Structure formats: C-alpha cells, structure tokens
Structure 1
Amino acid sequence: MKQIKRNASLIAASAVLLGLTLPVTASADTVTAAAEPLTWTKCQGPGLDPRQQCATVDVPMDYSDPDSRTIQIAISRIPSEKPSDRRGALLLIPGGPGGDSLADPSGKGQKLPQRVRDAYDLIGFAPRGMAPSTAVDCELDPADLSMTKRLPWPGPDGSVTENMATARRTAEACVRNGGELLRHISTANEARDLDRVRAALGEEKISAWGVSYGTYVGAVYSQLFPHRTDRVVLDSNNNPDPTRVTRNWLAAFEVGVEDNFPEFAKWAARADNPDRLARTAADVRPLFLRLADRLDRKPLPWPGANPPQLDGNALRQTMLTSLYDPDDYPALAKTIRAALKGTVPPAPEAPPESVLQNVAAVGVGTICNDVDWPDSAAHYQKGVDESRAEYPLTAGMPRGPMVCAAWPFQPKEPAVRVTGRGPSNILLVQNERDVATPLSGALKLRRALGDRAVMVTVNSTGHDAYLANGNACGDRTVSRFLATGERPDRDTYCA
C-alpha cells in the first residue's frame, strides 16, 4: 500500500450509483486503437526537473460502457536521456491506494542508474480520482481525517463500537458527496486506465516499476494485459488473494510490526544512541506496552495534532509509521522519551486538508469497490479480541472494521485473480523485514505468479526495497533487469 507514512491513505468511504453491472472482462484488444496525439506542456509544481512534461489522457469513467462520460488521467514524463539507447517507457506505479507518481520522474526516477534512464522515458501519473486527474472528495469531518480514525484502532478496552460509528459516518459522507466517479474507482479500472496511457504514448508494450499497493496494480495489469508488458518490477509486494484484497493488507500489519519491532528495539538499546530507551533490547517492548497502556488511561494534551492528544493509539500509530523506514526510528524514540516524562514532542506537520480529503476518498473507493467486507460488528470484535491477545503491539487494529464495513454497495465486479498465465518477465524484490508488506504476504504473490516471476529477497529492514531501504545486491539485480532484461535463473537471496 503506498506507504501509509507517505500519504496516509488507507481509509474512508465512497459511492453514488446503486445498480448491478456485469463484470468487465477487459483485454488489451479493447484499447489498441490509435490514440489521439498527446499535448505535452511544462509541469506545474515546485522542485520539478525542468525536463519534466505533463499531459492528460481521456479514459471512460465506466469501462462497461466505454461510450459514456470520460474522465482525465494526468500523466508526466522525462524522456530517455539517450534516444539511441531508448527501449520504451517505464511506468512508475505509486503506492496507496491514494498515492500518485506525477513528480516521480523528477524524484525517485532520477535515482535510477544512467543506463536505465537512457533506456526509458520515465512516466508518472495520478490515478483516477486523484488530483490533478478528475478528482473525488467525500467532504469528511476534519476529525475523521486523523490516522487513528482512518485506521481502525479500537477503544482502550478493545471495543470496535466507535470504529463502526466512524465507518458509518464516513460511508454516509462519501455516498452523499463523492459523486458518480467514486463508484468506478478500483484497482482493475486503474489497470485499464494504464493501458489507455500505454496506447496514448504509442507503445506496443510498456515496462513498470510498481511499489507497495503499486505491486498489486502491476500484477493486475500483467493479468489483464499480459502481452502488453515488457519488463515489470514489483517492489514491496502485497498478498493478491482476490477474496480479501485490502483486508489482507490491513491484517498484515500485525505480522509486519512483529517482524520489524525487534530491529527498532536493538537500535533503541544501543549504548551510543542519544535517543536510547533501555539498557537492553528485551526491555524496549515492555516499556512501549506499559506506556501505551498508561496513555490509554490518561492521554497527554498534544496541541496541533489531530486529535489534539497523545493517547495509546496515537503512540501506536507513531510506532507503525516510524517502522516504515529505520531513518524514522528517532521520531518514535523521541515521542516515547517525551511521553515518559509527561510531555509531548511537536505535533507532526500534516498535509493540507484538501490533499487528505482527496487521498481519503480515493482510498475508500478502491478498498470498498475492490472486494466486499463483512458488515457485522461481532465479526470484527472477535477478530480484534484474538489479535489483541496474540499481537499486543498493534492492539487489534489490523482486524478492525474500516469504512467498507458500512459500505452500502456491492463491488461491480469480482477482484482480479492473479495467475501464472503470461510471459515470464516479472521480477519481485522484497525486504525481509517490511512492516507494511511483510515477506509472508509477498511470498503469496510470488506463488500466484508461478513461472512468470523470479523473486529477490533482500536482507534489509523497512518498506520499499529498490533504491530505498534495500541493499546494494538487490539494487544491482533490479537495475540489471531493467537495463538488460537479465534476471536471476531462480529465486535468490541478497545478504
């Protein structure tokens, strides 16, 4: 999922149209007609490479009725830096749901080795619903934009009563304010949009680098349009189980935290650490649990935060966010040290409310339209109780009810089942310790893809592997594949 840390996306609610439609069975043949030439202009925004250009692509809002209303998908590119070596275009597929990659050709795309930048035009985009593409907004109450609301952290006693109330409130706001487009936001439709982008770029085939939730988008694209794929890198991989989709990704946090917290504990017990929390790594976990329990009972005022208090769930959310990247361990340690003294650190700066509203709405549309969620509070309460007993660090949140527990609509089509049918041109790269997309879930995507894929497991900690929190061996392996097509013969391990 994009880095909940980066744009806090996983939640909210959506909809408008009520009605049953037949499943859409898209194939590449539906979008191979000649596209209108793109009009490229200078991109707007701070910090962009002056070479980056922007354009828009028109796509059907409803792929079951391609002649109906169209919406726009905003795209960006930096052309190949050596046209004589150009192979094609490389889609930078963002995480989320609720992320975009419009700035990525100027950002992480410039971290790619020169031979990769020579081989490809780097292509970013804003998925359907994300501004500046045709955008959606649920107009949620600002209090419901907090991460401790959007993720289903239960009450101090483990109750999901307030979670269910938040789900109903969010769903009602999205149905009331979200517009027709919200009912047509889904992973499958994002994949179909990407094939329209491919066609508009004039590419017979397209390569991709998908990260986090983008690995699921990339896998679904590779399933729907296998003969339109060139070289595909899936980085920090989601379990593709079509019966659960985001429910599995949420549940994975309980395992991901257990995989990663020991690394934080070792760091937090180092004698040379100015933010040291305990004399031994074994002491850090009970210290954290005691503090969270204390803050459950007696929160500290936290001016500027949403909500304006540091309670147990705010501490747990800070922990979850900080485990995405070891560089963020000090933020968690400083919060713990301050709270132990009865004070608080400065509240983290939040994105503008308009951005949070847009991210939340796209998150709702995707997670609720991809797969049906149970609507029984008792179902979630049972799961939360079990999770709290087995995984106390996450306090039951990963099995709680998100907005889709109150979503009044059924998905318009079944989630795409990822299989091994298609060309063998996919490379998975996966950190061994990843809080958001744990190795256990990545292995399920690897099995689903069968002979289509090879997986590189990296002995590293954090979310995002390639050119981020991985290691030199993993980076070399991915770069070589993108530049030359050379993959390891079999699944391999990068120590």
Structure 2
Amino acid sequence: MRAAALYSAAGSLLLATLSAAPAGSAPGTPEAAESRGTAVAAARARAAGIDFGKCTDMQDMPGTMECGTVSVPLDYAQPRGKQIKLAVSRVRATHKDPGNSKHRVPRQGSLVYNPGGPGGDGLYFPLVGLQPKWKRLAAAYDLIGYSPRGVGRSAPLSCEDPKRFFKSPSEAPSFPSESYKKERIAEAQAYARGCAKRTGSALRFYNSLNNARDLDVLRAALRENRLTFMGASYGTYFGALYATLFPSHVRRMVFDSVVNPSQEQIWYRNNLDQSAAFESRWADFREWVARHDDVYGLGRTAAAVDHNYKKVSAQLAAEPAGGKVGPAELQSAFLQAGYYDDYWPLRAQALSAFVKGDPKPLIEQAGPTTEAAAEAENSNAVYTAVECNDAPWPTDFRVWDRDNTRLARIAPFETWDNVWMNLPCAYWQAPRQQPLDVRTGPGELAPTLILAAERDAATPYDGALELHRRLSGSVLVTERDAGTHGIGGGPNLCINGFLDAYLLEGRLPEQRAACAPHAEPQPKTADDRSQSAPLKESPKGKARG
C-alpha cells in the first residue's frame, strides 16, 4: 500500500511538473528529453523526500545540523538510468527573533545556498546561522547546504592522484619562455587525459546545466513548490540557468558576485576579463600597503611595494622558503588578497617579515597544506570538468598565446596563472556544449536580487550589469569602490539590509541601489596575536600551478 501511494503521488506530481517544464525545447531534441527527465526525477524526489539524520562522518559538528542525500540522474535524458547521490545538510529554522526573544518567527521554507567554484562545497553552509549577521535569516528559514555533483561526497571526480597534486615549489613566470610554455602544454594534455581516464563516459555529465537541473530535484526533495536560492560567484551562473530553465519554480533568488552569463563569455573570455580585473585589485592591495608603510616598511608607493614583492619572488625562485614555497606558491597566496581584503593585513605582514629576514609567516600562509590535497584535487577536477564541458574553447594554443601575451603586457599578475589553470580545456576529450541563452521576459520570473562589488576581480562588475539586463524584474545593488568577492552576509551592513529585506519580506528597491564601501582592514603587526586566516572558499588558481 505504501509503495502504491508513493507511485500515485509521484505520478500526480509528474503530470503537474511536466506541464510546467521549460518551454522552448522542440520535441525529440536532447533538450526536450532532459526537460522531461528533470520532471521525472523531481517527481521521484518529492515522493521520497530527504531522510535527514545525524552527520555521522563529519566531526565536531553542532548537534543542530542534519545530513541526508538526494538521488539525481547522471544523465537527465535517461532519468531511470544510473543515479548519483548528492550530500545535503540542514539546520532547521530557529524561529527565534534576535531582536525580541518573546517573538516567534514564522518559517518561510528552505534557503538553499551554493558558494561557487565550480568545485565549491556548500555542505557546511547551514552553520552560518550561528553568526550574528545571519540569525534573522536562520530564524525564518531552514538553511540548506549541499555538495554539487562531483564535489566531496557527491559522486566525487578526480583527475590525478592527490599525492601528486601539490607540485611545490614551482615557478610562476609573468612572461613565460617558449620552453616553459611547452612544459605547461604537456601538463595540461596529461591532466585532460587523466580526467577522461578516471571518469570515462560519465565525464560529459558534469556541467552547469546539470547543476541547474540538480537544483530543481533538490527543491522537489525538500518539498518546496518554489525555490529560494542564494548563489555566490559560479553559483550565480547556474542559478541564472535555473531561472531561465525553470522560471515558474522560483520564489526568491539572490545572485552575489556575478559571473557574466553572456554566451560569448562562457568561459574563455570570462577568464581573460578576470585576469585584467585582478591587475586593478592587485594595485588596490599595493596602495593599501603603501599607505601603511609605517607598519610594514615595504615602500611608500604601490610601485615600491611591487618592487619588494618581485624581489621576494626572485629570492624564492633561487631558494624556496622552507623548501616548499616558490614563486607560484607566493603568487597563489597573494591571489587570495585579490579576492578578499581581509587577507590584506596577513599577506602584508608575511611579506614584510620575509624582507626583514623571517620566512616563517610566509611559509605558514603560502605553503601547500598537504593534508588537504585530496579535497583540493577534487575541487580542481570539478572546476576543470564543468568549465571545459560547458562551452567551446580554443583548441589551438596559438590563440591562447596570442591573447594572453597581449594581455600580460598590461596585466601580468594573474594572466598566465589563469592560462595554466584552464589550458586542459584546449585538449578536453568529452563533448562540449553550447551555452544556454540566459534570459527571461517580463512577468516570467519573480523579482530577483543581484549583489555586486564595483571592483570585484574574480567576477568583474560588467557581469552583474549583464545579468541585470537579462533577467526581467531583477534589481542590482552595488557596493561602490569595493572589491571583496561575495558580499552578502559580510561586513557591509547596508548590503545586508537589502539582503534581509528581500529574503525576509520580499522587498526590493524600485530601481538600482548603491551602498558605500565597507571599512578597509586595519593593519596588523607581527606581534598582534589576534590575527588569523579568514575562513573563505579557496579561490580559483590556489590548487594547481
């Protein structure tokens, strides 16, 4: 009887879901088959739900966090074929009003979050409700995190032995020689072969469109008729795909630090734009260090700070610090300062200490964490697979060489590191997709909120403007003259006010709005024991090279 009831419920839901399936797919096309497959999978997931229980394999978790899994098809064109399980986490709504302990806050449903990547793991997201800035949202929503397909516990991808992943110390020439380029081409070819060998024919199904479809199955498994979602960085891209594919399934969506969704930008041109933007953000950091020359002694101008940085890089090329920190590890550590300005005091202090003869802070901050090698290798594999699968890439290295040689003349800091990160896509062995045209018309989609920092390097501001043009009814809120990547729930109270008003009350400004920048970080000295590394997602580029 129970099985019959489940199948009956699933059948009824399937008919309703199919009637609301994405429009625009011609019958008989792969897109139509995948649309039907998503509806089948969502109906099945709603009937099954998620059996949340203790997070048995996660240590030191507060008792309020629960874990479970949801099954999704590997291939949505074959929804009854091979299934993979996505790891899901939850902290139930507290109902506690942080401003009035006697007031019980009504539950508004589930808030699903993705931290970006590709390859970022959102499984620990629900714990953010313990932070004061998230308590109002934690009162009203079940906070839902999950590991996207390929990540962590969710049918994890791997492209090489994690023991070989960290190749330190290593070089990071801003203007590589022809012989160095040949070495990196060979590495990229080997990496692409490793991805194909380790995953086989399933590799093609790790892509952004399937991440969007997985999100709809997760919505159904949570038994939500419409999705409330917040995505940061890459999470904005497949969130935008979701809004395009399933506009009637959206309740509220927040896009925080936006990937440019234009078909022409995915992904090769987006990476060129990113490299250019990092040069400006690198200048912001150096100017901040120069303003605090009394603390760090690295020079009173950005040029003087740059001179010291290059001098340290040359020293590390001659003699790696601790035998493991070379120029590439130095560049990777300072790339984090381009993502998050709360790293600025740490990195400046480490550079200052090295110049004055103490290498320990730099070794601690830039040295590879070998115990995290498996996690880093997995994240890198997912990043590569998704971006390579999503779109066509130039297959002739001469195109990469031409474009990036030209760019490196004005933006040397990140340009070639970005090339080596993405070059396996030139030699990818799985089929490439054509990116979806992200776009919704008037009345198709509930109003959505876009958050962007004006000087964000990882996702340059033009991406937020482009998504705002493409999603009818969206509202853009800008943090002026700031560049931290991922601003929702951060230090800017103005930004958080817009976020809370939207997610808690559905309120948006009538048109674009702006906030003043959050305060710059304060410098810290070597004997300031309060300093510690901020808790952030590892930025792209940290893993390989």
TM-score (ref. length: structure 2)? 0.78
Determine if contact 1:220/1:416 at 8 Å carries over to the other structure: yes
CA displacement, residues 406-444 of structure 1 (integer Å, 9 cap, x when unaligned):
112222x42222113331421011112222112123222
How far is 1:393 from its partner?
A: 2.6
Contact map agreement 1:97 1:366 (CA 8 A) in 2: yes
Q: Which residue of 2 aligns with 1:162?
A: 183
Q: Distance in 2 between matches of 1:208 and 1:146?
A: 37
SS of 2:84's equivalent in the other structure is strand
Residue by residue over 1:85-120, the C-alpha shift from the partner in whole angstroms, topping out at 9 and shown as x without a partner, is: 112111011211111111110136745544322221
Q: What SS is found at the alignment partner of 1:301?
A: coil
Per-residue displacement from partner, 1:44-93 (whole Å, max 9, x unpaired)?
A: 32342311111111111111111111110111111122286112111011
State the alpha-carbon separation in 2 of the partners of residues 262 and 126 from structure 1.
Answer: 35
CA distance in 2, matches of 1:447, 1:37: 36
Q: Which of 324-333 and 24-33 deviates more?
A: 24-33
Give the unaligned 5+ runs of structure 1. Answer: 1-20
Aligned to 2:283: 262
Residue of 250, 262, 265 corresponding to 1:229: 250
Deviations 1:255-310 (CA, angstroms, capped at 9, x unpaired): 32233223312321234753241123453334435654x358x4322336xxx342
CA change 1:167–1:224 in 2 (3 A) is: same
Residue 15 of structure 1 aligns with which residue?
A: none
2:197 aligned with 1:181: no
| Residue 207 of structure 1, CA deviation | 0.3
CA contact (8 A) 1:299 1:309 kept: no
**Range 103-112 or range 357-366, more displaced:** 103-112
Give the secondary structure class of the aligned counterpart of 1:444.
helix
Alpha-carbon shift at residue 152 of structure 1 (Å) = 9.1
Distance across 2 between alignment mates of 1:355 and 1:239:
27
Following TM superposition, by how much is the alpha carbon of 1:154 offset from its aligned partner in structure 2, in angstroms? Answer: 6.5
Match of 1:420 among 431, 440, 448: 440
Does 1:310 find its partner at 2:326? yes
Matched, 1:214 2:231: no
Say which of 393, 408, 429 aligns to 2:413: 393
In the other structure, the counterpart of 2:158 is: 137
Letter in 2 for 1:97: P
Deviation at 1:127, TM superposition (A): 0.5
Picking from 481, 484, 487, the partner of 1:462 is: 484
Distance change >3 Å, CA 335–CA 272, structure 1 → 2 = closer
Cα offset for 1:318?
2.4
Given that 2:74 and 2:82 are in contact with CA atoms closer than 8 Å, whether structure 1 keeps it comes out as yes
Residue deviations 1:309-333, cap 9 Å, x none?
A: 422x433322212222122113432
CA contact (8 A) 2:114 2:231 kept: yes
- What residue is the counterpart of 1:43 in the other structure? 55
Q: In structure 2, what is the Cα distance between the partners aligned to 1:176 and 1:272?
A: 52
Equivalent residue for 1:352, pick from 372, 391, 412: 372
Contact 1:129 1:182 in 2 (8 A): no
Q: 1:146 to 1:274 in 2, by over 3 A?
A: farther
CA separation in 1, counterparts of 2:168 and 2:62?
A: 32
Distance 1:290 1:441 in 2: 35
* Alpha-carbon separation, structure 2, partners of 1:203 and 1:153: 50
Aligned-partner SS, 1:204 = coil
Q: How many residues align?
A: 465
Whose RCO is larger (CA < 8 A, sep 6+)?
1
Amino acid at match of 1:205: R
In the alignment, structure 2 segments of 5+ residues that lack a partner are 1-28, 96-103, 517-545
Q: How does 1:237-248 map to 2 (within 5 A)?
A: 237-248=258-269
CA offsets per residue over residues 426-480 of structure 1, 9 Å max, x none?
A: 101111222211212322222222x231110002331110122x51111111111
Q: Which residue of 1 aligns with 2:340?
A: 325
Map of 2:532 onto structure 1: none
Partner SS state of residue 35, structure 2 = coil
**Residues 139 and 173 of structure 1 are in contact (CA less than 8 Å); yes or no, is this contact kept in structure 2?**
yes
Which entry has the higher C-alpha Rg, 1 or 2? 2
> What is the letter of the counterpart of residue 322 of structure 1?
A
| Mapped contact 2:129–2:137 kept (Cα < 8 A) | no
Distance 1:375 1:367 in 2: 14
Q: How does 1:269-348 map to 2 (within 5 A)?
A: 269-271=290-292, 274-289=295-310, 292=313, 294=314, 298-303=317-322, 308-311=324-327, 313-338=328-353, 340=355, 344=359, 345-347=362-364, 348=367
Percent of residue pairs bearing the same amino acid type: 30
Question: Is the deviation greater in 480-489 or in 247-256?
Answer: 247-256
